[in-house]
Structure 1
Amino acid sequence: MCVILLHNFQFRENGFAVIPGFLSQTEVEELKDATKQLVSKYCRDMPISIFSGKKTEEGRTVLEDRDNYFLDSADKIRGFYEESAVVDGKVIVGDQEKALNKIGHALHKFEDAFRQVSFSPKVKEVVERLTTMKRPTVMQSMVIFKQPKVGGEVKPHQDASYLYTEPTSGSLLGFWIALDDANLENGCLYFTPASHQDGKLYQRYAYNIF
Structure 2
Amino acid sequence: MTAETLLSQDRKAAFSRDGYFIAEAFLTPDEVESIRREITAIVDRYPDVPEELVQIEPAVRRGAVTPESRELGVRKLFRMTRHSELFHALALHPRMVGIAVELIGPDVALFQSMLLMKPPRFGGQKVWHQDNAYFRLEPNDVFGFWIALDDADVANGCMHVIPGSHRAGIGEHGGVADDYGLSSAPTADDAVACVMKSGDALVFHGETYHYTPPNTSDRRRRALQYHYASTHCRSTKDSPFKSTEPEVIVAGAGAVARPPEG
TM-score grouping bracket, smaller chain normalisation: 0.7 to 0.9
How far 1:205 sits from its partner (Å)?
4.7
Q: What TM-score do you get using the length of structure 1 for normalisation?
A: 0.74
1:82 equivalent among 43, 57, 62: 57
- Residue 135 of structure 2 is matched in structure 1 by 163
Match for 2:41: what amino acid?
A: Q
What RMSD over aligned residues (CA atoms) do the two structures have, in Å?
2.5
The alignment covers a number of residue pairs equal to 174
1:187 equivalent among 157, 170, 174: 157
How far 1:198 sits from its partner (Å)?
1.8
Deviations 1:106-156 (A, max 9, x none): 21233121122211111111112223x342211221211111222111100
Greater length-normalized contact order (CA 8 Å, ≥ 6 residues apart): 2
Match for 1:197: what amino acid?
A: R
Q: What TM-score do you get using the length of structure 2 for normalisation?
A: 0.60
| Structure 1 unaligned spans of 5+ | 48-68, 70-77
Deviations 1:161-202 (A, max 9, x none): 1123111x3x11111000111112221111110001122343
Q: Residue 160 of structure 1 contacts residue 201 of structure 1 at CA under 8 Å; is this kept in 2?
A: no
Structure 1 CA distance, aligned partners of 2:35 and 2:67? 24
| Structure 2 unaligned spans of 5+ | 174-237, 243-262
1:173 aligned counterpart, secondary structure: strand
Structure 1 CA distance, aligned partners of 2:49 and 2:142? 34
CA gap 1:176/1:42 in 2 versus in 1, 3 angstroms: same
Which residues in structure 2 correspond to 1:115-126 (within 5 Å)? 115-126=88-99
Structure 2 CA distance, aligned partners of 1:46 and 1:172? 27
> Does residue 172 of the first structure (1) align with residue 142 of the second (2)?
yes
How far 1:46 sits from its partner (Å)?
6.9
Q: Residue 86 of structure 1 contacts residue 92 of structure 1 at CA under 8 Å; is this kept in 2?
A: no
Structure 1 CA distance, aligned partners of 2:161 and 2:47? 31
Q: Which runs of 4+ in 1 moved over 6 A?
A: none
- Residue 56 of structure 1 is matched in structure 2 by none
Aligned-residue sequence identity (percent) comes to 26
Structure 1 CA distance, aligned partners of 2:5 and 2:72? 42
How far 1:102 sits from its partner (Å)?
1.0
Which structure shows the higher strand fraction? 2
Structure 2 CA distance, aligned partners of 1:162 and 1:21? 29
Q: Residue 19 of structure 2 contacts residue 166 of structure 2 at CA under 8 Å; is this kept in 1?
A: yes
Which residues in structure 2 correspond to 1:14-163 (within 5 Å)? 14-43=18-47, 69=52, 78-87=53-62, 92-104=66-78, 106-131=79-104, 133-163=105-135
